[in-house]
Structure 1
Amino acid sequence: MTKPLSYTPDAVAARNAAIMEQPPRLPANRTEAVLAPARAMMAQIAGAASGQATPVPDEHIPEMLLTAMCHQELFERVVNVSLQLLKNPSLPLRDRQLVILRTGWLRQIPYIFGEHVSVSKKLGLTDEDIEQVIVGSASPHWSEHEKALLEATEQIVNSAMVTDEVWQILAKSYNHPQLFELPVLIGQFSTVGYFQNVLRIPLSPSNPGLTAR
């Protein structure tokens, strides 16, 4: 039986190693038949922030994309949801990143957590913010709204629910589209993390996984 996740330093290091230091379970496909649609998809992903497709050299197309393209039709739909959340978010960017980081940490997904530490810092989150995301909603670092946001993330990850108390705090600041987007965001980044972890897809050299700070 699978044991519950542990967040001790030794357990986190073991989790990182179990995913990042083991051979991938499916191969990345670098044939032209896969590279051609992968280039177009990667250009959309790379240009998500600017809204303009940004060509990426073949050597910079990540292993994850070339592996997941084994089921191109399905993966394109997964990517389309991610692009919607990244290009046209209704949530404030800081809030979005706090949710993604907390989700990646709670689910112990090296790819998601490591990538989004880097993204979050570019968007203005501080080293202290990153450290306190690991602590979660119990940290005194957060405003009332951010504490509720992280608590909602924890509740959704752990029980697929949100208490009325937390919902009411979020509803003070969020409109209906934002309240809908929150659980979708958590679900989407959990989904990406599931296949990343299960398939043990290699991370980029710049992504240290769960040790990112």
Structure 2
Amino acid sequence: MNEPRIQPVEAPYDPDIQAAFDRVMSGAPPLLLFRCVARNPRVLQRMMAGGLLDRGSISLRERELLILRSTARCGAEYEWGVHVAAFNAKAGFSQAQLADTCRLPVDAGLWEESELALLAMADALHEQADIDDDLWQRLRGYFSEEQLVECVMLAGFYHAVSFLVKGLRVALEDRAPRFPSAPESAGSRELGRGCS
């Protein structure tokens, strides 16, 4: 990875910045991403206000699946790893499923049908910035309109976060896992390092 382009702010933090960190981090040290964005406190405040990590209309597992696939498709190892570290204990993905979020094509045998539809949605939005009518009808078989609005917004938001972490060259977090190193099957390819 290249050298970081923006150095993270260091403690002690401005009171407004500390308050933003406290709201999101629940007492844990702030992530490097947040400390880099804090170079522009207004953007940090807007980013924190626009997040979708609260209790939404879809399950935590569905949310994390969309985030992992979207960030993997963008090659945003930082964000992928942070989400695995922070949420996989509750999301419950197996190691094979985590690795599969970084592969094309996915192994359909690892996923429920509704999860395959979400993976296809993340791929379609990444590849075409659109969802064709057939996939939309497939998604409607599993998700309400309210949920679909959230799903599309999640994929878009995490594309933006991926652009941010890659564009700023945010250093990887020590406690976060890395992308898998090699595909498990000969017919698949790793997404990982670049936008695929």
Same fold by TM-score greater than 0.5: yes
What is the RMSD of the two structures over their aligned residues, measured on CA atoms?
Answer: 2.1
**3-state SS in 2 of match to 1:23:** coil
Is the CA contact 2:70–2:122 (under 8 Å) kept in the aligned structure 1? yes
Separation in structure 1 between the aligned mates of residue 31 and residue 19 of structure 2, nearest angstrom: 13
Offset at residue 168 of structure 1 (A): 0.9
Post-superposition Cα deviations, 1:144-175, rounded to whole Å, max 9, x if no partner, equal 22111100110001111111111112112211
Aligned residues: 180
Residue matched to 2:114: 145
Structure-1-length-normalised TM-score: 0.76
Offset at residue 114 of structure 1 (A): 0.8
Separation in structure 1 between the aligned mates of residue 31 and residue 87 of structure 2, nearest angstrom: 20
Post-superposition Cα deviations, 1:149-204, rounded to whole Å, max 9, x if no partner, equal 10011000111111111111211221111110111101111111211111112222
Superposed, 1:21-170 pairs within 5 Å as 22-30=2-10, 32=12, 34-46=13-25, 54-56=26-28, 60-82=29-51, 85-123=52-90, 124-135=92-103, 138-141=106-109, 142-170=111-139
Residue matched to 1:172: 141
- What runs of 5+ residues in structure 2 fail to find an aligned partner? 182-196
Distance 1:87 1:191, change over 3 A: same
Distance 1:154 1:62, change over 3 A: same
- What runs of 5+ residues in structure 1 fail to find an aligned partner? 1-17, 47-53
Separation in structure 1 between the aligned mates of residue 70 and residue 101 of structure 2, nearest angstrom: 10
Q: Which has the higher contact order (CA 8 A, sep 6+)?
A: 2
Separation in structure 1 between the aligned mates of residue 80 and residue 59 of structure 2, nearest angstrom: 19
Post-superposition Cα deviations, 1:61-87, rounded to whole Å, max 9, x if no partner, equal 2222122112111221112121xx111
Identity %: 22
Offset at residue 29 of structure 1 (A): 2.0
**3-state SS in 2 of match to 1:186:** helix
**3-state SS in 1 of match to 2:39:** helix
Higher share of residues assigned helix: 1
